[in-house]
Amino acid sequence: MTTFPDSARAQMITKVELPINVTDLAVARRWYADYLGITFDDRNRAEVAGVTLVLFEFDDLTPCSHVVVQLVTDDLAGTHQRLSQLDPTTPDVDAANQNLVVTDPSHNKIVLYQPR
């Protein structure tokens, strides 16, 4: 396998964008803003810790069976408490894995994780 020198890699990759496919942009934008505090711009992009999340709308979306994105928090218990106040159906924290899996309105799984 051929490897590229560091300078070539740096020129090839200039940014990280993570697509999140949704069934309704307006509903998704509101949920991400209200529930996770992530606000998308008029192009459906949001900068989060140096990564750009991008919403894409599809009418015939099939929900993923896996986690779409993992977000890191420094206070998982506090995050859980806040989310539970917004939505009483918020699942409990998985203490063994120090994470919380929530589902957006398009059934995308989002993990909130606290490093040990």
pLDDT band at 8 (very low <50, low <70, confident <90, very high): low
Cβ 98 vs Cβ 74: under 8 Å: no
Query: Per residue in 69-115, pLDDT tens?
Result: 999 999 999 999 999 999 999 999 999 999 999 999 999 999 999 99
Q: What pTM did the predictor assign?
A: 0.84
Q: Is 29 in a helix, a strand, or coil?
A: helix
Q: Which fold has domain 16-113?
A: 2,3-Dihydroxybiphenyl 1,2-Dioxygenase; domain 1 (3.10.180)
Is residue 56 within 8 A of residue 64, CB to CB? The reply is no
Q: What is the dihedral of CA 60, 23, 71, 49, to 10 degrees?
A: 110
| Greatest extent of the chain over all pairs of C-alpha atoms, in Å | 52
